[in-house]
Amino acid sequence: MVIVDVVGMKAVNERDGFRAGDSMLRAAAERLRVAAFGAVLLARLGGDELVAVFLGAGAGAAADRTADALTARSSPPLRAAALVAYPRETGAELVERLYATLRRS
């Protein structure tokens, strides 16, 4: 999986309004869509966080490539981190680990 944070979106919302923040979010989502080739799911977790889910033998490598591609570009600025879901991990545990991984990136 890859979790993505749109850096500075809250400040843009407060300074320039929600339309500007929404535009920033749409641009980030489009970048994720292009970078996450082969993802089985692209979603907004909430606020300014997006996620891409990969399955299969090459999922970890695809997630790593996607995270690298997203952080290499600058507009809008993104933080991205890749991680692997554990087989018996609950949804709540996975979401908590997603956010913790993003905080460390």
pLDDT (0 to 100) of residue 37: 93
DSSP E strand stretches across the chain:
2-6, 41-46, 49-53, 78-82
Q: What is the pLDDT of residues 49-78, one digit of tens each?
A: 999 999 999 999 999 999 999 998 778 899
Q: Which two tokens stand for residue 91?
A: 């949804």
Which CATH number is 2-104 given? 3.30.70.270
pLDDT (tens digit per residue) in 14-33: 999 999 999 999 999 999 99
Question: For residues 22 and 10, is the Cβ–Cβ distance under 8 A?
Answer: no
pLDDT band for 4, please (50, 70, 90 cuts): very high
For the chain, the domains span: 2-104
Measured CA to CA, the distance from residue 49 to residue 100 in angstroms comes to 13
Determine the residue type at 97: R
CA dihedral over 103, 1, 40, 28, signed as positive or negative: positive
